[in-house]
Chain A
Amino acid sequence: MSKIHVTTIINGEPTEFLADPSLTLLDALRDDLGLTGTKEGCGSGDCGACSVMLDGRLVCSCLVLAVETEGRTVDTIEGMATGDTLHPVQRQFLEHAALQCGFCTPGFLVAAKALLEKNNNPTETEVRFWLAGNLCRCTGYDKIIRAVMDAAAEMRGEKV
């Protein structure tokens, strides 16, 4: 089957690529567009390592076909910082040591930012349930939850 031409906006940049109809968004990002910050941990939507935003909605990119992004916007971990300025949730992950191996980190950051954009004052329970689709095997989640709570406080303008 011939490839399909896809026009999309990735991290604010108009982007065109050719996709086999069966190509996942995850594989398109990683293999065709060189955006390897989005990780594959399972390929079945169970681990959240491949989390990206599609038209402002949190999705597992392994469960989205690349051709589905035609005319839509995709935001990945590579677009989260503004130049040298990290997003508060990225900075709080570093301050809290909320990563060990770092492999799940991009997915957690994309998911956490999505939460904080909807709800900048979540309870610990709300953070835990929002992030329940992201697996981390290193940290036991403790420092991740604290980092997200402090990022929320920072975004509300509170001193953390």
Chain B
Amino acid sequence: MTFIGNKSDLRVVGTRPVRPDGVDKVTGRATYGADFRLPGQLVGKILRSPHAHARIIKIDTSKAEALAGVKAVMTSADLPDIDPTEAFVGEGPTNFRDQSLNIMARGKVLYEGHAVAAVAATSQSIADAALALIDVTYEVLPHVIDVEAAMAPDAPVLDEAMFTAGVDPKPTKASNIAKKIVLKSGDIEAGFASADVIAEGRYVTAAVHQAYIEPHACVAAINADGQCTVYASSQGHFMIRAFCSKLLNIELSNIRVIPMEIGGGFGGKTIIYLEPVALTLARKSGRPVKIVMSRDEVFRASGPTSGAVVEVKMGAKKDGTIVAAQAVMKLQAGAFQGSPVQPAMMCAFAMYNIANVHETGYDVLSNRPKVAAYRAPGAPIGSYAAEQVVDDLARQLGMDPITLREKNAAKAGTKTVYGVTFPDIGFEQVLAAAKSHPHWKAPLGPNQGRGLATGFWFNIGGESSASVFINEDGSVNVVSGSPDIGGSRASMAMMAAEVLGIPVDNVRPIIGDTASIGFTNVTGGSRVTYATGMATVQATEKVIEQLKQRAAMIWDISPDAVDWKDGQAVPAGANAGGFDPLPLAAIAAKAAKTGGPIGAEVSINAQGAGPGFGAHICDVEVDRETGQTTILRYTAVQDVGRAIHPSYVEGQIQGGAVQGIGWALNEEYIYDKNGRMDNSGFLDYRVPVASDLPMIDAVLVEVPNTRHPFGVRGVGEVPIVPPMGAIGNAIRDAIGIRLHSLPMSPPKVRAALDAGQG
């Protein structure tokens, strides 16, 4: 399908219909992971390490096994050994061996909450009692939590086989630094030498959790013939299938994963924790097993994103041209390698055309849960530091912060430090929209300040499958392989309806399970509306070709002489014949006589995803007595390509911004001296609540991505990138002091005010 550039040609795309799964969700009928049950199912529970770092000397499960009502007990001895092979499922390369070690510890526990054993029992209380009867003998080892402490030469080493990659010559001593990465362009020394002003800062971020409200949950069953069925909520049921297959040595075709509704993920459900455990318990007990994490387990044992130390230095000419940017980033990976340090480095300066860039990054293990993807993984961490240094440059130059950014803005043809040259992007349009927004010039009161920051995320395409079926009455079903985490079913139905020229209410979208639709990569990377949308559009076009052929058959003319217009087949011109239009329903009714059912499935690996840019403006008021920062006003401007359903696009921007506000002001993993998490509940790990916030004004800038038929760009991740920088800059503006660590909580603000410095 050719790109539709003219918005006025669209009838469904850009409207705001009620989402097709909406009524189920406001009446309590939608079935999430923990809502599902199978006859005869057992309760599965996991025993977790109380120690941050310890050798497992012995696990005695005999007493638990003897308890009445216990049907199975497992440890890592029940899992096959895995070669450390790499494969791509989820948002990045995943080491299956690490994943196996993470779901059930072998030899050592590497963080508090690390799974060591699991039971399946006939009730919750019996399962709890059984866990208490499992006797684990530990040899407690020294632990390390802080990222820079973990990099020290004398730090306790988590993995004796870990030798820092990316260092020449290869180190001879094991360390917690899994990888060193360098990105560079131009000549950094010459860049700084040519600068008239230089700004720099060292910024520290805390580990934060995705904090989806639905804890991880699954039900798993194995038949006597080895056929496995898993019911789970996740960001990718094909991802679950791949992990279960690899971690348990089961052929893919013998595993069927059925997606339940998902109660939030934000990247944290692009990975598995429970399913192979539940399948193993199901195999050993001969009964279905359900495992649901508690909130405490979610915090202690599922992936937060990295805390980090980021040092940034930038230089600019008097006219505002940024000539040099340098960064050193140290990111916590948790207990296994794989922090998002690389995307953090790639995104930090991507908004700007800078000739000389030099970045060094470290992926660092420590005794924390293994990090998982969190919305634009890494990007907010690097941007938080970089955007405050840009703000300092603007202050030194006496320039408006937007004008400085406009002067250096990336545009089509700008080459990034990681080697990609941007196609048509909308960053300049975003900055212009921010500058002309009334918010930018609104007056401020005492102790109030305004900050601006920008952000970038790649957005991805990737493997997606969709099928479109015309039912006998002319109604339409769309099946896709992408779990719907925030309204994507509505987008799929709208795109199919647009192409078919029919009302969106005539299209019913569902999510197919792993055995009923082709492979589809995870709902992540802001890829679903782009890639699965593209598959849906292409499948719909194939269906239209069939509809035209059927009409041609009915009219007894050549298919070339049939056009599809407004949901009907029409003769292509006067020469084709004087036939009345044939509506979709009329063709569908005759399908059996014209060749059989009408439908098509398309599987693609979508290329050409459009990079996304945003700019956020934030006003704060700081209470000098308590140190409390209140968000007074918030405006988030973003290039969204084209909004299929604008309400859900706004929702992505508002939700992402508020997660960033939590990251900036409240949220952090707090550890005690034994390496145990001190705040593993929503009372003490405080995500933003309604009374903390103003309305979030989401401004949609539409610079279409011409590689998608309707111009879609991913939208879900960009909005979490700018908030921490914007709020840091706003607090700096309000109190004249720059804070250097997250969260910018009342005690830190108070301390900075008392000390008179950041």
Residues of A bordering B, CB below 8 Å: 20, 22, 27, 30, 35-44, 46-47, 49, 76-78, 80-81, 86, 90, 93-97, 99-106, 109, 125, 127-129, 131-146
Q: B658 at the A/B interface (Cβ < 8 Å)?
A: yes
Q: Is the CB of A43 within 8 A of B295?
A: yes
Q: Is the CB of B212 within 8 A of A101?
A: yes
B265 surroundings in chain A (CB, below 8 A) = 101
B214 surroundings in chain A (CB, below 8 A) = 39, 41, 101, 103
Given A128-B691, A137-B211, also A81-B27 (CB < 8 A): yes
Q: How far is the CB of A35 from chain B (nearest CB, A)?
A: 8
Q: Is the CB of A46 within 8 A of B23?
A: no
Q: B140 at the A/B interface (Cβ < 8 Å)?
A: no
Q: Is the CB of B295 within 8 A of A132?
A: no
Q: Is the CB of B32 within 8 A of A39?
A: yes
**Bound-complex Cα distance A49 to B34 (A):** 13
A94 surroundings in chain B (CB, below 8 A) = 18-19, 22-23, 26
Given A138-B486, A145-B695, also A102-B30 (CB < 8 A): yes
Q: Is the CB of A102 within 8 A of B696?
A: no
**Bound-complex Cα distance A127 to B689 (A):** 12
Q: Is the CB of A100 within 8 A of B485?
A: yes
B211 surroundings in chain A (CB, below 8 A) = 137
A140 surroundings in chain B (CB, below 8 A) = 651, 654-659, 688, 693, 696
**Bound-complex Cα distance A19 to B265 (A):** 33
Q: Is the CB of A97 within 8 A of B689?
A: no
B459-467, B556-564, B569-577, B679-687 - the one binding chain A: B679-687
Q: B704 at the A/B interface (Cβ < 8 Å)?
A: no
**Bound-complex Cα distance A9 to B27 (A):** 19
A93 surroundings in chain B (CB, below 8 A) = 22, 26
**Bound-complex Cα distance A106 to B485 (A):** 17
Q: B273 at the A/B interface (Cβ < 8 Å)?
A: no
Q: A93-B26, A102-B25, A143-B647 are in contact. List 6 more A-B contacts (CB 8 A).
A: A44-B681, A99-B26, A101-B263, A133-B689, A135-B689, A140-B656
Given A39-B214, A40-B215, also A135-B682 (CB < 8 A): yes
Segment 627-668 of B: residues with Cβ below 8 Å from A: 645, 647-648, 650-652, 654-659
10 A-B pairs with least C-beta separation: A37-B28, A103-B263, A102-B25, A140-B658, A97-B647, A77-B28, A140-B654, A46-B682, A100-B486, A36-B35
A39 surroundings in chain B (CB, below 8 A) = 32, 34, 213-214, 263
**Bound-complex Cα distance A159 to B471 (A):** 39
Name B27's contact: one of A40, A46, A77 (CB within 8 Å). Answer: A77
Name the residue in A102, A142, A146 with the highest tally of chain B Cβ atoms < 10 Å from its Cβ.
A102
**Bound-complex Cα distance A49 to B30 (A):** 14
Q: Is the CB of A36 within 8 A of B28?
A: yes
**Bound-complex Cα distance A46 to B215 (A):** 14
B693 surroundings in chain A (CB, below 8 A) = 128, 140-142
Q: Is the CB of B485 within 8 A of A109?
A: no
Among residues of B, the one whose C-beta sits closest to the C-beta of A41 is: B213
B295 surroundings in chain A (CB, below 8 A) = 41-44, 47
Q: Is the CB of A142 within 8 A of B689?
A: no
Q: B1 at the A/B interface (Cβ < 8 Å)?
A: no
Subset of 21 A-B contacts with CB under 8 Å: A36-B28, A39-B34, A39-B214, A41-B682, A42-B682, A77-B27, A77-B28, A97-B16, A101-B264, A101-B486, A103-B32, A103-B263, A128-B693, A134-B689, A135-B682, A137-B659, A138-B264, A138-B655, A140-B657, A140-B696, A141-B690
Given A40-B215, A76-B28, A135-B687, also A103-B18 (CB < 8 A): no
Name A137's contact: one of B18, B24, B687 (CB within 8 Å). Answer: B687
A142 surroundings in chain B (CB, below 8 A) = 650, 654, 693, 695-696, 698
A146 surroundings in chain B (CB, below 8 A) = 695
**Bound-complex Cα distance A18 to B655 (A):** 41
Q: Is the CB of B485 within 8 A of A132?
A: no
Q: How far is the CB of B666 from chain A (nearest CB, A)?
A: 12
**Bound-complex Cα distance A46 to B266 (A):** 20
Q: Is the CB of B213 within 8 A of A104?
A: yes
Q: B602 at the A/B interface (Cβ < 8 Å)?
A: no
Q: Is the CB of A127 within 8 A of B690?
A: yes
Q: Is the CB of A102 within 8 A of B690?
A: no
Residues of B bordering A, CB below 8 Å: 16, 18-19, 21-32, 34-35, 124-125, 210-215, 261-266, 292, 294-295, 485-487, 645, 647-648, 650-652, 654-659, 681-683, 687-693, 695-696, 698
Q: Is the CB of A47 within 8 A of B213?
A: yes
Q: How far is the CB of A8 from chain B (nearest CB, A)?
A: 18
Q: Is the CB of B651 within 8 A of A138?
A: yes
Among residues of B, the one whose C-beta sits closest to the C-beta of A96 is: B647
Q: How far is the CB of B426 from chain A (nearest CB, A)?
A: 22
B294 surroundings in chain A (CB, below 8 A) = 43
Among residues of B, the one whose C-beta sits closest to the C-beta of A143 is: B651
**Bound-complex Cα distance A40 to B50 (A):** 25
**Bound-complex Cα distance A39 to B212 (A):** 13
A95 surroundings in chain B (CB, below 8 A) = 18
Q: Is the CB of B691 within 8 A of A129?
A: yes
A97 surroundings in chain B (CB, below 8 A) = 16, 19, 487, 645, 647-648, 650-651
Q: How far is the CB of B598 from chain A (nearest CB, A)?
A: 31
Q: Is the CB of B27 within 8 A of A80?
A: yes
**Bound-complex Cα distance A102 to B24 (A):** 9
Q: How far is the CB of B679 from chain A (nearest CB, A)?
A: 12
Q: Is the CB of B213 within 8 A of A135?
A: yes
Given A81-B27, A94-B26, A102-B261, also A44-B682 (CB < 8 A): yes
**Bound-complex Cα distance A160 to B29 (A):** 27
Name B690's contact: one of A37, A77, A128, A137 (CB within 8 Å). Answer: A128
Name the residue in B16, B23, B292 with the highest tally of chain A Cβ atoms < 10 Å from its Cβ.
B23
B682 surroundings in chain A (CB, below 8 A) = 41-42, 44, 46-47, 135
Among residues of A, the one whose C-beta sits closest to the C-beta of B123 is: A20
Q: Is the CB of B27 within 8 A of A141?
A: no
**Bound-complex Cα distance A138 to B214 (A):** 11
**Bound-complex Cα distance A76 to B81 (A):** 47
**Bound-complex Cα distance A39 to B692 (A):** 24
Among residues of B, the one whose C-beta sits closest to the C-beta of A144 is: B690
Q: Is the CB of B690 within 8 A of A131?
A: yes
**Bound-complex Cα distance A46 to B682 (A):** 6
**Bound-complex Cα distance A95 to B656 (A):** 21
**Bound-complex Cα distance A123 to B631 (A):** 18
B692 surroundings in chain A (CB, below 8 A) = 132
Q: Is the CB of A78 within 8 A of B28?
A: yes
Q: Is the CB of A134 within 8 A of B690?
A: yes
Among residues of A, the one whose C-beta sits closest to the C-beta of B32 is: A103
A41 surroundings in chain B (CB, below 8 A) = 213-215, 263, 295, 682
B35 surroundings in chain A (CB, below 8 A) = 30, 36
Among residues of A, the one whose C-beta sits closest to the C-beta of B647 is: A97
Given A49-B213, A94-B19, A97-B648, also A44-B683 (CB < 8 A): yes
B29 surroundings in chain A (CB, below 8 A) = 37, 78
A139 surroundings in chain B (CB, below 8 A) = 651, 654-655, 658
**Bound-complex Cα distance A105 to B651 (A):** 14
Q: Is the CB of A132 within 8 A of B690?
A: yes
A47 surroundings in chain B (CB, below 8 A) = 213, 295, 682
**Bound-complex Cα distance A96 to B682 (A):** 27
**Bound-complex Cα distance A137 to B687 (A):** 8
B654 surroundings in chain A (CB, below 8 A) = 139-143
Q: Is the CB of B26 within 8 A of A105?
A: yes
**Bound-complex Cα distance A44 to B298 (A):** 14
Name A100's contact: one of B16, B31, B655, B696 (CB within 8 Å). Answer: B655
Q: Is the CB of A99 within 8 A of B25?
A: yes
